[in-house]
Each structure stands twice: as structure tokens, then as C-alpha cells.
Amino acid sequence: MSRDNTIYIGRKPAMAYVMATLATFNHNDVVLIKARGRSITTAVDVAEITKNRYMDGMEKPGITIGTEKIEDDRGTRNVSTMTITLVKGNAVVPAEVFAPRERRERRPPRGERREPTPKPKPKSEPEPIVEAVDVSKISGVGVVTEEKLKSAGYDTVAKVLNSEPSELSLKTRLTVAQIEKIMAAAKEL
């Protein structure tokens, strides 16, 4: 067997090796996935993803395990090895895996980037309402709510509508949801 059908597992994500395995299956009926040490788990993941997700009908993989002696600055040590032999069998490499994808427009280089469009500035104050309608005229405002609004200085519909719900809530001790309902009813006047 030649080395062009061998995938050596390293530190890349498993899907990188799955794509390499599928590409190798385009030209070979047998692919060897080799790993040492901590990469063995990735090799098993690559074989399982290839077999279960992309190539139904593949023959049962063959597994060869072993030990290699490696010499380094700390002396000689044993490292586990694994070779997984994948045989294509009746399986077919899915064409959509290697189909060209639509290309997105690339971003210009940093020096050529356009300035971001400025966001519109929020209105500092809503348009004032000049009508001096008493808050008691707002639908849903009872005696207690009317007292709370007036004691906080909101005695007209215009003052209620020109305020922020959170500010009005703090001053009247009504919830923001209640204030929003009051404001919605006030807008209908």
C-alpha cells in the first residue's frame, strides 16, 4: 500500500480529518487512519463520523494497536499507536461534501474598510403635547392611581406622555407595565 491513502491524526479538529478521509476515498478503496498517544481518541471519532454520517454501507473497520518506543530528552518511553483501516465496500462518497459552495463577499483589508454608518441619534425629547387634560380622564386610572400621579407632579395627560416610563414608575411606585398601560390609554385621548 502506498502512503497516499494514509491519514495521520494530529491536533486539528476531527472534521478536518474526516474531510481528508473522504477526499482520499475519491481515489482509493482503502484508507488508513494512524494515530499515536492522545490522538487515538480523535482517530476513533474520525472513523465513526466518516462511517456513520457520510458513508453508509462501508465495511467494518479493521483496528491494529501497538506500542512504539520513542527516545526524547527524558529517555525512552512507550507510546500507544493505533491504525484504523477503512474499506469503502459498497459505500459512495457523497458528492455534496465536495460541491463548491457559494462564496461570500470578502471583507476589504483593514486599511480599506469603510467607516461604519452612524446610527441615527435618538430623539432627545418626544414632541410635547400641549393639551392640559386631567389624568383622571385616562381610561383605567382610578382614584388611587390618580393620587399617585398627581402627588408625583403628573397632573396632566401631556406630562404623563412626555415622561419616561421608568422615571414615572420610580416617582409613583407603579410598575413599568402599569405605566405603559396608562401611557397607551393616554395616547388614545
Q: Report pLDDT digits (tens) over 47-95.
A: 999 998 888 888 889 999 999 998 888 899 999 999 999 998 888 887 7
**How many Å is the maximal CA-CA distance in the chain?**
93
- The reply to whether the predicted model has a pTM over 0.75 is no
CB 80 within 8 Å of CB 40: yes
Q: pLDDT tens for residues 123-147? A: 655 555 445 788 888 888 899 999 9
Query: What does the DSSP 8-state code read for residue 69?
Result: E
- Provide, rounded to the nearest whole percent, the portion of the chain with pLDDT above 70: 81
**What domains sit in the chain, N to C, each tagged with a CATH number?**
3-97 (3.30.110.20), 135-187 (1.10.150)
Please give the angle made by the CA atoms of 91, 95 and 101, to the nearest 5 degrees: 150
Average pLDDT over residues 3-24: 91
Closest CA to 47 of 12, 9, 11, 80: 9
pLDDT (tens digit, 9 = 90+) per residue, 99-114?
A: 666 666 777 776 666 6
What's at 114, amino acid-wise? R
